Amino acid sequence: MSKKFQAYRVKEVAEKQYTTSIESRSTDDLPAGDVLIKVQYSSLNFKDALSASGNKGVTRNFPHTPGIDAAGTVEHSDNQNFKKGDKVLVTGFDLGMNTSGGMAEYIRVPAEWVVALPKGLGLRESMVYGTAGLTAGLSVYQLINQGINPDMGKIVVTGASGGVGSMAVAILGKLGFEVVAATGKESARDLLKSLGATECIGRDALNDESKRPILKPLYAGAIDTVGGNMLATILKSLQYNGVATCCGLVASPALSTSVFPFILKGVRLIGIDSVQCDINLRKVVWDHFASDWKVDYPEELVSEIGLDGLDAKIASILKGGISGRVIVKLS
């Protein structure tokens, strides 16, 4: 039986001109899939803002409902692994890109995209993590998997007040790492310290223009969310055998470096992708969030909005103006 629901819609009204509105839709309008989910919470990520502003690298066809994250209860399932009433979450894959996304009261997706909410994690809490948390979790997982531990030295996190960065600071802090938070926001420093950072530095501290191939070794590891010259500076500032993860491009998609950090110091650079990453690896990270990596993410870093609050938050995230996480309450 079809159901009516509210959705945030982005329309292309002329070439490169987009408008947004909240519209009534029917579950009959949703794409084919095994699992119909009544969404209770979504979250806002940088990629949603790109989709909502007509970035064709994220979303090709409009009208469209963004929302790469969704958590809710199964309304109907054609797959034996899920039944009506199950609490589930979906992040990444094609959700919110070219598949109608989580900024709506219903989504319909393939069962292969769905993760059962682990015991110990609430639906709202899962969206406080969302794709940002999963990406931070995958980054921490890779550092540990590459042999980095708290005894080896400091870990620097860039874009530290943003969604991925703040989650990374919190998880690393919880695991006993000494965390250096690199932030452009003076006002975020106290919060970052309360989250788990032992030290805060400005973005300019990671903007080396000297052209020297190697700098003073400061960090055992790094979680980079911004790219550009900050990542290039970090690669030169890692200790011997240091590891950096790279997930984002808010500063720049460019990376100008030399081979010297790699061939003289055994530095490793690990790419992080939360979109297509293996479902079993996702489950490992979500299970960590429900147990030993569960962070006390402060409520003052969580903005909870409805669909009507999205326009303002999307404008803000595009300017790098968000601190922490934005979650969207649906039904």
Element spanning 172, H or E: helix 163-174
Interface residues for ligand NDP in 125-154 (CB under 6 A)? 131-132, 135
The site map against ligand NDP for 270-289 (x = CB under 6 A) is: --xxxx--------------
Tell me the three state secondary structure of residue 146. Answer: coil
> What single letter denotes the amino acid at residue 289?
F
For ligand NDP, which residue of 25, 47, 87, 108 counts as binding (CB under 6 A)? 47
For position 250 contacting ligand NDP by CB under 6 A, the verdict is yes
For ligand NDP, which residue of 27, 40, 65, 183 counts as binding (CB under 6 A)? 183
For position 172 contacting ligand NDP by CB under 6 A, the verdict is no
Task: Give the interface size with ligand NDP as a residue count (CB under 6 A).
Answer: 32
The verdict on whether omega for the bond into residue 63 sits within 30 degrees of 0, i.e. cis, is: yes
The site map against ligand NDP for 69-108 (x = CB under 6 A) is: ----------------------------------------
Using DSSP bridges, classify how beta strands 238-246 and 268-271 pair: parallel, antiparallel or unpaired: parallel
Min CB(184)–ligand NDP separation in Å: 4
The site map against ligand NDP for 215-234 (x = CB under 6 A) is: ----------xx--------
Of the candidates 30, 31, 32, 24, which has an alpha carbon nearest to the alpha carbon of residue 8? 24
Min CB(275)–ligand NDP separation in Å: 5
For position 39 contacting ligand NDP by CB under 6 A, the verdict is no
Q: What angle do CA 123, 125, 114 make, to 5 degrees?
A: 45
Residue position matching structure tokens 């979500």: 286
Closest residue to ligand NDP, Cβ-based? 162
What lies within 8 Å, CB to CB, of 72 at 6+ separation is: 37, 38, 39, 40, 41, 87, 88, 107, 123, 330, 331
For ligand NDP, which residue of 66, 96, 133, 159 counts as binding (CB under 6 A)? 159
Give 3-state DSSP helix, strand, coil % of the chain, rounded to 5. 30, 30, 40
What's the rounded Cα separation, in Å, for the pair 90 and 77?
14
For position 320 contacting ligand NDP by CB under 6 A, the verdict is yes
For 276, other C-beta atoms within 10 Å of its C-beta total 9
For position 63 contacting ligand NDP by CB under 6 A, the verdict is no
> What single letter denotes the amino acid at residue 195?
L
Interaction site with ligand NDP (CB under 6 A): 45-47, 131-132, 135, 159-165, 183-185, 188, 203, 225-226, 247-251, 272-275, 317, 320, 322
